Structure 1
Amino acid sequence: MPSTVQGLLVLIVGALPGFVFVLARRRRFPAMPESLLREATQVVAASLLACLASGAVLSVAGWVGVPAPHVRAWILEPRLYLADNLGLLAVWTTTGLLLAVVGAAAAGRYLPSPRGRIRPSSAWWDSFQREPDTCGAAATFVRCHLNNGSYVAGTLESFTSQEIPGHPRELVLEAPLTFRPSWDEKEVPMEGNRIIVDAERIMFTQVGYMIEDPRRAHRSRRTEPDAAC
């Protein structure tokens, strides 16, 4: 750990690209909470790669004629060179940091997620966000089978993207809403515009992607949705 204020400041600034990368990645690909060691490793690795890439861009800029610091003189006489070239160093340091942060944010946002049967992302996010976006669905139909034998169904409005310890996950369904009680096989319409479903009550869910959004038609009854993908 740094023992001075300057050392702490350098640590925070140096780790900033990694923090931005991890935040951008979590925003696009929500996943289960990871250990502090793994998150710290991701931050350090992302910061290092972003700073190296930024340094490479600045090196090319200096090579093509843009006024640049003299690295050898800076290393041999750091205090003297800093005093004589403070403005130039400030501009290049700020530019390098901005390039690293912007590059880390772009990488976290646009790099594809890992493919395969085992994924670190949330199954809810994959089913409710990634797949509808991939196939261009207009709406997502969700039928939640509850632990008392009944089920509720509706059009997905929102959901908790990742699990937070101590806070149950929820999803919100919009009208048209239907309900089937545990003692009956007949599905009946529900009143209201929205219903909030607690994840702890759900046994399993059925998900369908629709070509047309049923909320626009204001129907009182739902039929099985047409598949969009």
Structure 2
Amino acid sequence: MPTTITGLILLVVLLLPGLTFVIVRERQGSERRPTPFRETGTVVFCSVLTELAVLVAFAVLRGVMPGHTPDVGRLVREGTPYAQVHYVELFWWAGGLLSAACALAAVAAAMTAGVPHSSAMSAWWVMFHKWFPGEDPLVGCVLEDGSYIEGRLASFNVSSDDLSDRDLVLVEPLKYRAPGALETRDLPWGSACVSARRIVTMFVSYPPAAEGEGEGEGAPASSSVAS
């Protein structure tokens, strides 16, 4: 850890674009749990790569418009005296370049969020997001006590691990069949939370595709998964 203000600032500058990449990617894709070494490597690698790209762009801009950009050569040769005279210009340019690097990292994260292979994702992720992203499939769950509940998918835990300690939120129209009952009845409630620990089998039915639209890669019209 840095022990001076200068070292702390340099650490933030180095890691901020990479941290932006990781945060945006987590929001756009399934939650994965990489090792600390791999996550640190991702942050550092992305930060260095995006900042190098921004510095290259600055060098090109410096060559095109030398009178409107900071003189890096003088800054290196003169150091503090040059910085004291042009501190406002240096501050705005440094902030702009760092913001550009963070924006570039965010764009890269958004573009690569859906890249992970299905084998690395949970069964829930594959059924609810990969095959028909953005849709509201109809989900039916057979629970361990023999009951059955059905409704439209509202949200689900995006962890890449098939964990039992997670929940599934269904919204109306909700239907329920009690253990041992033969008929399914409508529920007068707006939503229901179902624990994955209690689910034995899950059935998923997708809205019919519009004419001319293809189905998701490898996706059937309906599917099921056992927990």
TM-score, length-scaled by structure 2: 0.79
Q: How does 1:147-158 map to 2 (within 5 A)?
A: 147-158=144-155
Quote the Cα distance in structure 2 between the aligned partners of 1:150 and 1:168. 20
CA contact (8 A) 2:125 2:160 kept: no
| Pair 1:199 & 2:185 matched | no
Q: Which amino acid aligns with 1:183?
A: G
CA contact (8 A) 1:32 1:163 kept: yes
Cα distance change of structure 1 residues 117 and 129 upon mapping to structure 2, 3 Å threshold? closer
Cα distance change of structure 1 residues 53 and 34 upon mapping to structure 2, 3 Å threshold? same
Q: Which amino acid aligns with 1:190?
A: D
Query: Residue 78 of structure 1 corresponds to which residue in structure 2?
Result: 79
Query: Residue 217 of structure 2 corresponds to which residue in structure 1?
Result: none
Quote the Cα distance in structure 2 between the aligned partners of 1:187 and 1:97. 61
3-state DSSP of counterpart to 1:210: coil
Q: Which amino acid aligns with 1:149?
A: G
Query: Residue 175 of structure 2 corresponds to which residue in structure 1?
Result: 178
CA contact (8 A) 1:178 1:187 kept: no
| Pair 1:27 & 2:27 matched | yes
Query: Residue 129 of structure 2 corresponds to which residue in structure 1?
Result: 129
3-state DSSP of counterpart to 1:148: coil
Quote the Cα distance in structure 2 between the aligned partners of 1:7 and 1:57. 25
Quote the Cα distance in structure 2 between the aligned partners of 1:32 and 1:187. 40
Query: Residue 189 of structure 1 corresponds to which residue in structure 2?
Result: 185
Among all aligned residue pairs of Structure 1 and Structure 2, give the percentage whose two residues are the same amino acid. Answer: 32
Q: Which amino acid aligns with 1:83?
A: Q
Quote the Cα distance in structure 2 between the aligned partners of 1:18 and 1:227. 39
Quote the Cα distance in structure 1 between the aligned partners of 2:97 and 2:139. 47
3-state DSSP of counterpart to 1:105: helix
The one of 127, 137, 141 equivalent to 1:140 is: 137
Query: Residue 108 of structure 2 corresponds to which residue in structure 1?
Result: 107
Q: CA RMSD in A?
A: 2.8
Q: How does 1:39-78 map to 2 (within 5 A)?
A: 39-65=39-65, 67-78=68-79
CA contact (8 A) 2:170 2:193 kept: yes
Quote the Cα distance in structure 1 between the aligned partners of 2:193 and 2:118. 30
What is the aligned residue count?
209
Q: Which amino acid aligns with 1:41?
A: G
- In the alignment, structure 2 segments of 5+ residues that lack a partner are 210-219, 223-227
Cα distance change of structure 1 residues 57 and 187 upon mapping to structure 2, 3 Å threshold? farther
CA contact (8 A) 1:157 1:172 kept: yes
3-state DSSP of counterpart to 2:206: strand
Q: Quote the offset at 1:112 in angstroms.
A: 5.0
Residues 94-142 of structure 1: CA distance to partner in whole angstroms, max 9, x if unpaired?
11011001111111112253354422x4442332234322xx64x2011
Q: Quote the offset at 1:187 in angstroms.
A: 4.0
Query: Residue 169 of structure 1 corresponds to which residue in structure 2?
Result: 166
